[in-house]
Amino acid sequence: MINGISINYYILLSAVLFIIGAVGVMARRNSIIIFMCIELMLNAVNLLLVSFSVLHNDASGQVFVFFIMAVAAAEVAVGLAILSMIYRNIKSIDTDLLSNLKN
């Protein structure tokens, strides 16, 4: 129990956010939206870690969240750089156009 709310609700909320993110990555075709969905997945994890951290009265979960934030920022920086490179080459960021790799 955290502030009178059962931990199950926190797990449920994170799981729902995570699934929305995961479905978004698989279903959407715009690269920027795919990045946003990945961020959503990572933030669902952050929420879950913080709530467990409060539940266990243990700070290490919150420290882990800082690591995730830093790494997510690095990942998006690299991702946007690759994306701008792709845009320069094909003038689009639609993932349907990225199908040059075939046997």
* Whole-angstrom distance, CA of residue 63 vs CA of residue 50: 9
Give the count of residues interacting with another protein (CB under 8 A).
43
The DSSP letter of residue 16 is: H
Q: Which two tokens stand for residue 15?
A: 């799981």
CB 32 within 8 A of CB 93: yes
Examine residue 79 and tell whether it contacts another protein (CB under 8 A): yes
List of residues contacting another protein (CB under 8 A): 7, 11, 14, 18, 21-22, 25, 31, 34, 38, 41-42, 44-45, 48-49, 52, 55-56, 58, 60-61, 63-64, 67-68, 71, 74-75, 78-79, 81-83, 85-86, 89-90, 98-101, 103
